């Protein structure tokens, strides 16, 4: 058996590349035909019911507006109900038939059952479930001394997708609906200071890839991945009592704005309505996947050179429970500084999350 594997290791990779190169024109033609067909004869979303989690800001908010333009019935879910009221009004102005809003925490199964049940009781159906809730970090793993943040990151990035999907699946089967998940290229493309985030996104991708095989054609699944798309980190705040567990001061999501975020939202909704299994923005990131498979050392060397100029480490200290430097009253922090500030008791972490 070892001899067989040795021969296959030597023969299969180059043979597969040759076959892929020969088949590439035909595959491109077939994919183009499918894209054109689905574009003109895709799912008409008028009067359909769409649930969007993490809809209070960022990509979730923009996705809500894109579905609203297609005259859908929306259910907007987030922890910040007050933020949802303004989004609701704008979605109505853009064409949404009806818009329900509900405050819920998607890492709690009971909350997920509640808003799914409310949706079915009000609309009678669920056609699309869009999961956009996500939480990033920017610290080196070895600098984290408070591991309480670790399960929080996994809960939001992984279970925050699993629980809504699990609860909604029976209703999506009835309508032959679709699940749309907002993931990230970091699930396979390594970047420093994102180890836990990348691991959670990889878990999400593998969960939905496996789920595709289980649900077959009864429920569609669209996996959207993106690279860096200009997230504006302006509102995310965390409160951590000194020496205690991390608590949320404000929202989990951070406002994302700019043409790239809007463009990504348009691609997600258009791809979901066409029934595309994948939406990628930007597409050129895929070239690194070839290096990941066939030349992983080259990929590692490339990233080491790209990040070599950073010099000394600068970290956000989210969840690290590191002590803060005491500053004299005469000293004032630099406006560009990303260090936490002591605000009378708890430590408030501001402007330090990278979220979608």
For the chain, the domains span 38-239+254-308
Which positions are annotated as active-site residues? 197
- Mean pLDDT computed over 188-193: 80
Query: What is the rounded CA–CA span in Å between residue 261 and residue 245?
Result: 33
The arithmetic mean of pLDDT across residues 123-133, rounded, is: 96
Check if the beta carbon of residue 76 is closer than 8 Å to that of residue 55.
yes
* φ, ψ (nearest 5 deg) of residue 345: 110, -100
Contact 211, 171 (CB under 8 A): no
Question: Averaged over 130-151, what is the pLDDT?
Answer: 86
Among 50, 211, 212, which residue's Cα sits nearest to residue 128? 50
Which of 21-30, 116-125, 303-312, 339-348 reaches the highest mean pLDDT? 116-125
Res. 91 pLDDT band, cuts 50 70 90: very high
Please state the three-class secondary structure of 249-317 as a single string.
Answer: CCCCCCCCCCHHHHHHHHHHHHHHHHCCCEEEECHHHHHHHHHHHHCHHHHHHHHHHHCHHHCCCCCCC
Q: Residue 71 has which token pair?
A: 């005259």
Render the burial of 142-181: b for 16+ CB within 10 Å, e for the rest.
Answer: eebebeebbebbbbbbbbbbbbbbebbbebbeebebbbbb
Q: What per-residue confidence (pLDDT) applies to 259? A: 57
pLDDT of residue 27: 83
Higher pLDDT, 348 or 230: 230
Residue 196 has pLDDT above 70, yes or no: yes
CB 137 within 8 A of CB 189: no
pTM for the model: 0.76
* pLDDT tens track for 4-39: 888 888 888 888 878 888 888 888 888 888 777 777
The pLDDT value given to residue 338: 33
Residue 189, both tokens: 């493309």
Residue 86 has pLDDT above 50, yes or no: yes
Helices and strands: H and E segment counts in the chain: 10, 11
Mean pLDDT score of the chain: 78
Nearest Cα neighbor of 149 from 253, 255, 248, 254 is 248
For 216, the 3-state DSSP assignment is coil
Mean pLDDT to the nearest integer, 161-173: 97
**The predicted structure's pLDDT at residue 117:** 96
| Range ranked top by mean pLDDT from 141-145, 165-169, 187-191, 331-335 | 165-169
Classify domain 38-239+254-308 at the CATH superfamily level. NAD(P)-binding Rossmann-like Domain (3.40.50.720)
331 or 123: whose pLDDT is higher?
A: 123
């Amino acid at each position: 058996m070892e001899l067989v594997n040795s021969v296959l290791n030597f023969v299969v990779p180059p043979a597969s590349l040759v076959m892929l190169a020969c088949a590439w024109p035909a595959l491109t033609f077939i994919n183009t035909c499918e894209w054109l067909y689905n574009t003109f004869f895709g799912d008409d979303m008028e009067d359909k019911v769409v649930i969007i989690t993490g809809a209070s800001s960022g990509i979730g908010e923009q996705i809500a507006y894109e579905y609203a333009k297609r005259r859908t019935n929306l259910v907007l879910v987030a922890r910040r109900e007050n933020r949802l009221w303004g989004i609701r009004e704008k979605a109505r102005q853009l064409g949404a038939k009806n818009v329900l809003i509900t405050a819920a925490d998607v890492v709690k199964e009971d909350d997920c059952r509640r808003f799914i049940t409310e949706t079915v009781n009000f609309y009678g159906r669920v056609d699309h479930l869009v999961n956009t809730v996500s939480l990033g970090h920017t610290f080196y793993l070895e600098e984290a001394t408070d591991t309480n943040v670790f399960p929080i990151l996994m809960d939001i990035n992984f279970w925050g997708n699993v629980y809504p999907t699990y609860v909604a699946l029976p209703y999506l089967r009835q309508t032959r609906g679709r699940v749309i998940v907002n993931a990230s290229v970091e699930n396979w493309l390594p970047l420093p200071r994102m180890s836990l985030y990348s691991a959670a996104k990889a878990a999400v991708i593998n969960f939905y890839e496996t789920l595709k095989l289980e649900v077959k054609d009864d429920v569609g699944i669209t996996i959207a991945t993106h690279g860096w798309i200009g997230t504006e980190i302006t509102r995310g705040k965390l409160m951590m009592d000194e020496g205690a567990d991390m608590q949320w001061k404000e929202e989990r999501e951070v406002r994302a704005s700019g043409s790239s975020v809007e463009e990504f939202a348009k691609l997600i909704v258009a791809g979901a309505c066409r029934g595309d299994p994948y939406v990628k923005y930007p597409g050129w990131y895929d070239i690194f996947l070839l290096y990941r498979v066939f030349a992983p050392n080259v990929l590692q060397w490339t990233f080491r050179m790209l990040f070599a100029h950073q010099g000394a480490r600068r970290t956000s200290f989210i969840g690290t429970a590191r002590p803060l430097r005491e500053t004299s009253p005469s000293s004032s922090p630099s406006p560009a500084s990303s260090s936490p500030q002591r605000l009378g008791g708890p430590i408030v972490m501001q402007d330090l999350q990278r979220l979608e």
